[in-house]
Amino acid sequence: MAGALSDLKIVELGELVSAPYAAKLMADMGAEVVKIERPGIGDRSRTRGPFPRDEAHREKSGLFLYLNTNKLGVTLDVATPEGFGIFERLVADADILIHNVSPPDMDRVGLTYERLARLNPPLIMTSITPWGVTGPYRNWRAEDLTLWAAGGPCVLNGAPGHPELPPLTIFGHQAGYQGGAHAAVATMGALMGRLRHGEGQHIDVSVQEALASILEMTFEYWPYMKTVATRLGAKPIQPIEAMEAKDGYIYICCIEEHQWKNLVEVMGNPEWANEEIFSDRYRRAENWDVLKVLLGDYVRQQTVLDLYRAAQAKRVPLAPVSTMGDLLNSEHLKARGFFVEIAHPVAGTHKYPGAPLKYEKTPWEIRRPAPTLGQHNEEIFGGRLGLDRGRLDELKKKGVI
């Protein structure tokens, strides 16, 4: 069986999360991805952990190793005219270019679709930028946190009753992941368009817009009701909260009335649960201060897994507040073979999160670990582009590769 995208050639000019994740999603489904990094320095994610034994090493960053599976790696300084010339030759032969070069840097190096499409008219070029390639903020800077704020999710998270605490971000570069996943959708769309109508094109993906697109029902509160959804409001229905159990936290989640009734049964029908003040989900929210003490007393005496299984047996959607250890040791995830072991020549063998989806006919698979810095320079520049040894040495001396 071959991967669904095994006939595709992609060039990635990506740093940190967004463009590397988009290209990983396609590489793991069989596409050939040539990833271009800065000579001597490499992708910024190489400087971020986690690192084994906390020893910072550019070949051992867990973030980099995860995001760059199945890719070939070359180093090339596209900001030099010689480097850009080589970049153009790589792109001339590619189906897709995915990059997250910021618009001011695109201007500086002359990275435009028009220029590349002259060499390769059916090219699809996907630009993933914080604020979009057009618009008044195109030249603004951004990091993951500032985008999680500016796109709208951040204001939704915090501790009700504690307005003095700042709106709280979520763990782990989520703006980058959403920018990348939405870019993969747009890129696949353009690929389908090209397959069916024969033309390449430029796609402009804004990470800010990707985040504004996933705000549940909260954005519409303003256009529909002229009210604002924030982290400070009390929940309209209860219980929907993380609570402390004997050996960790569990998320109590009773949205429908029958779920609460079944949870009460799981608890052995305590008298307090039948009090008038807890008679429906809205009243349970109004009286949450009382309920949280009574329910909390019960939950504290249970183990997470026992309560989870007992509740799920009655179709109540409780869930553990999983630690990373819980995930790695989960009997369910183990049975499904979710985590995969990947051996890397420098970083060693570790378990990584696996396939986001399982395809009947076209496998998701790890064919090779993430590249070391410049690992495939000779194969790509020498073997594929035909640069001879002398030329490669010269480019290396100049710092172009």
Partner 1 sequence: MAKKLPLEGIRIADFTWVWAGPYCTLQLAHLGAEVIRIETTTRPCVTRMLPPWPDGKFLGLNYSGYFNQYNQGKKSITLNFKYPEATEVARRLIKVSDVVVNNFAAGVMERMGFGYSEVKKLRNDIIMVSLTGYGDTGPYRDYVAYGPAQVPLAGFSSLTGYKGWPPMHAGFSYADPNAGVHGAMAVMMALYHRARTGEGQYVEMSQWECAIDLLAEGTLEYTMNARESERNGNRDPYMAPHGNFKCLDWPEKISGHTVDRWISIVCADDAEWARLARVIGRPELADDSRFKMLAARKSNEDELEAIIAAWTSTRDPGSAVEELQNAGVAAGVVADSRYLSAEPNLTARNYFVYKEHPEVGVRQHCGMPWRMSGTPCEVRSAAPLIGQHTDEVLLNVLAYSRDELDQLRKAGVLD
- Cβ 82 to partner 1, closest distance in Å? 27
- Residue 363 · residue 1 · CB < 8 Å: yes
Beta-strand relationship, 340-344 and 348-352: antiparallel
Q: Which of 332, 389 has the CB closer to partner 1?
A: 332
- Cβ 401 to partner 1, closest distance in Å? 25
- Cβ 376 to partner 1, closest distance in Å? 23
Question: Phi first, then psi: what are they for 128, rounded to 5°?
Answer: -105, 110
Q: Which of 228, 277 has the CB closer to partner 1?
A: 228
Q: Which of 15, 37 has the CB closer to partner 1?
A: 15
Q: CB 356: neighbour CB atoms within 10 A?
A: 9
- Cβ 283 to partner 1, closest distance in Å? 18
- Cβ 381 to partner 1, closest distance in Å? 30
Q: How far is CA 275 from CA 260, 280, 293, in A?
A: 13, 10, 14
- Residue 34 · residue 90 · CB < 8 Å: yes
Q: CB 171: neighbour CB atoms within 10 A?
A: 5
Selection from 47, 17, 61 nearest residue 175 by Cα: 17
Q: Which of 5, 395 has the CB closer to partner 1?
A: 5
Sign of the CA dihedral running 182, 187, 193, 199:
positive
Would you state the structure tokens that stand for residue 10, as one six-digit string? 């992609």
Q: Which of 178, 377 has the CB closer to partner 1?
A: 178
Tokens 């005496």 belong to: 301
Q: Which of 170, 343 has the CB closer to partner 1?
A: 170
Distance from C-alpha of 384 to C-alpha of 395, rounded to nearest angstrom: 16
- Cβ 71 to partner 1, closest distance in Å? 15
- Cβ 94 to partner 1, closest distance in Å? 16
Selection from 317, 316, 320, 325 nearest residue 304 by Cα: 320
How many Å is the maximal CA-CA distance in the chain? 86
| 187 Ramachandran zone, left/alpha/beta (phi>0; psi -120 to 50) | alpha
- Give per-residue burial for 333-342: e unless 16+ CB within 10 Å, then b: beeeebbeeb
Q: How far is CA 162 from CA 159, 241, 314, in A?
A: 5, 16, 35
Q: Which of 42, 320 has the CB closer to partner 1?
A: 320
Q: Which of 19, 133 has the CB closer to partner 1?
A: 133
Q: Which of 143, 247 has the CB closer to partner 1?
A: 143
- Cβ 391 to partner 1, closest distance in Å? 34
Tokens 């060499």 belong to: 119
Selection from 213, 243, 226, 231 nearest residue 321 by Cα: 243
- Cβ 277 to partner 1, closest distance in Å? 23
